[in-house]
Amino acid sequence: MKVSQRINTQKNVIIIRDEIDRVLNHARIASHSAIHFLEGKCDSATQTDIRKIVATIPDIRTVSLLRGNEIYCSSVFGAQFFRLDAQSTPPLGLSLMDGNALTPYRSLLIYRTEHVGKSVMVGIDGYYLQNKLKTNDRRTDYQMTLNGLTLNAAGQVLTHRNNTASARYFSPVYKYQINANPVVPVSPDVLLKTVWQDEKLGVCLTLLLSALLSTITTKTLSHRNTLLFMLKKALDKNELIPFIQPIVEAESGNTVGGEVLMRWKHPQRGHISPEHFIPLAEQNGLITRITQSGLRQVADTLNSGDIINSRDMTLFFNVSAADFMNHDIIDWCRKFMRKTPFSGWQIGLEITEREPVEDTQLVQTLCEQLDALGVQISIDDFGTGNSNYRYLMQFRPRYIKIDKVFTLGIETDASKEAIVRNIIAIAQDMRCMTIAEGVETASQKVKLAAMGVTHFQGYYFSKPVDMATFFQNTLNTLP
Ligand code: G
Ligand code: G
Ligand code: MN
């Protein structure tokens, strides 16, 4: 290896190690802050305090208190009991896990400390660590190894030992190491000769398969390209139309707002689901145009003169991380307000962590300006792994949206009930309102209302409808 490359690798490893040490320091601070709660009960004050730890200390996802192998108090489930089996009980100190019940597909790092026969378990999302392992060094893979388990930059937890690491660096503070593995370029003629001798049939099959695969890949890629191309054209031709799903106030039963959901009606292909085009737009820098288009189309309809009277309403628009990269959103909201003839109409912005919004100075300034405009922030998908407590501190939202996974089965599923009870408790503590999504039945509505949810949204009340229908219905139900 060239000296310059080796120096570069060393430099990267030191940066990674320092950043991971900093994350682990946060875990240690969180654990220290939580340890004296082991002496008391899991009352609502303690539950709020441990949630505050999650909300205020960076990188921390969960804090749980354990008696033996039983969780009796946690930031996610409150005072709900959970017995961990021997396999899923992490050892004292640091350990890597492949995921847990709440985030099964995400790796997790646990920091567990003991005190008077009980213990504190602090969870860090592997996503935060995996991002630290990403560098712009294409010739080296960086990995973190802890107790025989290895986390790579793709977020996978691997069990095999890695012997090819060109360099291993131990953290001076914690019991993990960073491996730097060269990405080995194989000389093509050596590879061909040995493989041909050993695997004639295999090689033929592989060639056949790869030809097949490349045809499929080209087809898929070109399909993706066409979809992207079509999406760009659709935006130019205003084929993306805002639909609105009513939001109903629990106390009065009145429609007091709506969520704007974009629908793509392609002239030939028919309806294309937002599940396909929203992620595509997010990956390709088109999402801000969709946000702008939604705000503009709704404002134009309000401004058209067709709507002559209305009660006060908040219209919620979904926004993505890219909408927080510059000040455009402020202009769009300002234009919306200017075009709206009713003073009681407000804008809500629904934020999710699907693509995380960083906590930067720019974002803070944007939030202050949005707040000054009267724009209300709502945290979408709360509690699903797409949105967590960090956002509550960062955005100080007016609304928290309880995801539909919790609404479905709330009447019978005790753990969903516990989660929703805790979301409502923290919302009340932070003076936020709660919107339960995906309400499909009367019994879900009754249960959620009894638990203290302030607003509902879901098929029980109405599917998303076109703007004309939404405005007609809300006008017809004027008192
Ligand atoms: O209707 P439903 O299938 O309508 O929408 C699916 C998802 O698409 C929603 O969860 C929502 O987050 C996303 N979505 C719909 N419209 C928009 C939009 O205008 N902007 C963004 N960022 N997301 C949207
Ligand atoms: O942005 P968000 O993920 O919250 O978008 C809401 C999504 O939920 C949209 O796709 C919308 O069509 C869908 N939705 C709205 N009401 C219901 C409901 O009652 N049940 C189900 N299953 N989905 C719903
Ligand atoms: Mn939403």
- Greatest pairwise CA separation for the chain in angstroms: 84
Measure CA of the first residue to CA of the last residue in the chain; give whole Å: 78
Ligand 1 cavity residues, CB under 6 Å: 261-262, 273-275, 278, 287, 290-291, 294, 318-320, 464
How far apart, in whole angstroms, are the C-alpha atoms of residue 62 and residue 75? 6
Give the position, in ligand 1's atom list, of the atom nearest the Cα of 291: 19
Among 259, 257, 242, residue whose Cα is nearest residue 474: 257
pLDDT at 298: 95
Within 13 Å and on the Cβ side, how many CA atoms surround 11? 9
The answer to whether 238 touches 426, Cβ cutoff 8 Å, is: no
The HSE-up count of residue 382 (CA atoms within 13 Å, CB side) is: 29
CB 370 within 8 A of CB 395: no
Taking alpha carbons only, the member of 388, 391, 382 closest to residue 436 is: 382
Interatomic CA distance for residues 152 and 109, integer angstroms: 13
Pocket test residue of 262, 297, 435 for ligand 1, highest count of atoms within 8 A of CB: 262
What pLDDT is stored for residue 218 in this prediction? 59
Q: Is beta strand 167-170 parallel, antiparallel or unpaired with respect to 177-182? A: antiparallel
Contacts with 26 (C-beta within 8 Å, 6 or more apart), sequence order: 57, 58, 59, 60, 124
**Residue 26, number of CB atoms within 10 A of its CB:** 18
The structure tokens listed for 455 are 């607003």
- For residue 55, which amino acid is it? A
Contact 116, 142 (CB under 8 A): no
Ligand having the closest approach to the CA of 405: 2
CATH superfamily of 238-477: EAL domain (3.20.20.450)
Instruction: Output the CA 399–ligand 2 centroid distance in Å.
Output: 17
Confirm or reject: Cβ of 440 under 6 Å from ligand 2: yes
Q: How far is the CA of 431 from the centre of ligand 3 (A)?
A: 20
Identify the H or E element spanning 420: helix 414-429
Q: SS3 for 390?
A: helix
pLDDT in single tens digits along all 479 residues of the chain: 677 878 888 888 888 888 888 889 889 889 988 988 898 899 988 988 888 888 878 888 889 999 988 899 998 888 888 888 877 788 888 988 876 655 556 678 899 998 888 999 998 888 888 888 988 888 888 999 888 888 888 888 888 666 667 778 888 888 888 988 888 766 666 666 656 666 666 666 766 777 677 666 656 555 656 788 899 999 999 899 999 999 999 999 999 999 999 999 888 888 889 998 999 999 888 999 999 999 999 999 988 877 776 788 999 999 999 999 989 999 999 999 999 888 889 999 999 888 889 899 999 999 999 999 999 999 999 988 777 888 999 999 999 999 999 999 999 999 999 999 999 999 999 999 999 999 999 999 999 999 999 999 999 999 999 999 998 888 765 54
Please tell me the residue having the least CA distance from ligand 1 atom 5.
274
Rg of the chain on CA atoms, in Å: 26
**CA 309 – ligand 1 centroid, Å:** 28
Half-sphere exposure (Cβ direction) of 152: Cα atoms closer than 13 Å:
12
Task: Give me the residue spans of the domains in the chain.
Answer: 1-185, 188-224, 238-477
3-class DSSP assignment, residue 44:
helix
Provide the residue count of the chain.
Answer: 479
Name the DSSP class of 38.
Answer: G
Q: pLDDT tens for residues 439-473?
A: 999 999 999 999 999 999 999 999 999 999 998 88
Instruction: Give the pLDDT of residue 477.
Output: 54
Atom of ligand 1 nearest to the CA of 240: 19
Ligand 1 center–CA 187 separation, angstroms: 48
Ligand at shortest distance from the CA of 317? 1
Q: Which of 432, 414, 412 is nearest to 423 (CA)?
A: 432
Say how far apart CA 472 and CA 477 lie, in whole Å.
Answer: 9
Give how far the C-alpha of residue 318 lies from the chain's centroid of Cα atoms, to the nearest Å. Answer: 13
Identity at 297, one-letter amino acid code: Q
Q: How far is CA 475 from CA 211, 238, 258, 300, 459, in A?
A: 60, 26, 14, 18, 20
Q: Which helix (H) or strand (E) holds 344?
A: none
Alpha-carbon torsion, ordered 429, 435, 439, 443, to 10 deg: 40
- Write out the two tokens for 432: 């936020």
Report d(CA 245, CA 437) in Å as an integer. Answer: 10
